[in-house]
Amino acid sequence: MIEVRDLEKRYGDVLAVKGVSLSVGRGEIVGLLGHNGAGKSTVMKVITGFLEPSSGSVSVGGIDVVENRIAVQKQIGYLPENAPVYPEMLVQEYLLMMAELRGIPVGERAAAVGRAVAATGLQAWLVRPIATLSKGYRQRVGLAQAILHEPEVLILDEPTNGLDPVQIAEIRMLIKRLAASSTVVLSTHILSEIEAVCDRVVIMIDGELAADAKLSDLLHSDRVRVSLPADTAGVEDTLAAVEDVHDVHAVGADPSRSGYQLWSLQCSSSEPPTPDIVRAAVAAGWDVAAVALESQSLEEVFRSLIEQRAAAEAAATSQAAEASEAAV
């Protein structure tokens, strides 16, 4: 549905997006994750045709955004980072105006507004000035304008930014509902947002794509945790002897069971040999409290990507320094 190929976007001297390629299928909910300034908004602005790429291409539903921006925008509902709502207007007035700007024929506007209002739960707020709404409800108005023309694709830039926890939960639920009939790309720097809403995550660091994977694959771990009495002897040797297991080490007291110690086992196969581990522990006569796959959090994945990148940059810098020393 969305194809981004080798996208670069430059603002003067700043290369904000560096060679990003991305393919989003119909019906997917993709989270674009990254620190402030990582380039998320820029990618979204190019997809929605609000900015032209410096190089590379973007198409939506097979239509190139540079060649036919209007046709692309007809397929997209866009909620920019700061929802463009006019505070002095009534909710209904604003949505009718947006329906007109969207090119919805006059006879269909009231029905389009009615549908968007029902989908976003704004029925009771239609004749309120937007300025008097809470931030969460203003965000709903922003979402309502984005779905007026029943777009196939929704691009939502930090849709829960600045909201309180209750409003965040409501907007996330709303996005999941809207995703039932649309392809959704949303950006955020909140890791839990991705876990709560998305099935796929694309991580951007300094304008580059650092990861693109299904959430379940990204969080999948090849480590197993075993809980054993703290005085169990010979754990490393016994468990490291299990096929596919290496690097067995203690990770501290088991917080869920007093007197027990947690061990972490690195496994080399993509399906850790949990039954063999259980058998080895039982054969050794140990009192095993738990054996479980260790899942990594998105935060750990994100941190490790940043560390890998920093290490690669440091290695490249020292290589360059060595090369220039050798040249002297």
Binding positions for ligand ATP, rule: CB under 6 A: 11, 14, 16, 34, 36-42, 81, 189
Residue placing its CB nearer to ligand ATP in the complex, 10 or 128: 10
Q: Are 142 and 79 in contact (CB under 8 A)?
A: yes
* Residue 211, burial from CB neighbour count under 10 angstroms (0-12, 13-18, 19+): middle
Which residues are paired to 107 by β-bridges? none
Enumerate residues 6+ apart whose C-beta is below 8 A from 289. Answer: 227, 228, 229, 254, 257, 260
Residue 157 CB, shortest distance to ligand ATP, in Å, is 7
The dihedral over CA atoms of 180, 185, 191, 196, expressed in degrees to the nearest 10, equals 0
Reference 270, options 201, 308, 213, 217; nearest CA is: 217
CB nearer ligand ATP, residue 34 or residue 151: 34
Q: Closer to ligand ATP at the Cβ: 116 or 154? A: 154
And the tokens for 51? 């900015």
Closest approach of Cβ 158 to ligand ATP, in Å?
6
CB of 49 to ligand ATP, least distance (A): 16
Shortest separation between residue 138's beta carbon and ligand ATP, angstroms = 18
CB of 55 to ligand ATP, least distance (A): 16
* Paired tokens of 210: 């650092």
For ligand ATP, the closer of residues 51 and 248 by Cβ is 51
Complex with ligand ATP: residue 42 or 145, whichever CB lies closer:
42
Strand partners, 306: none
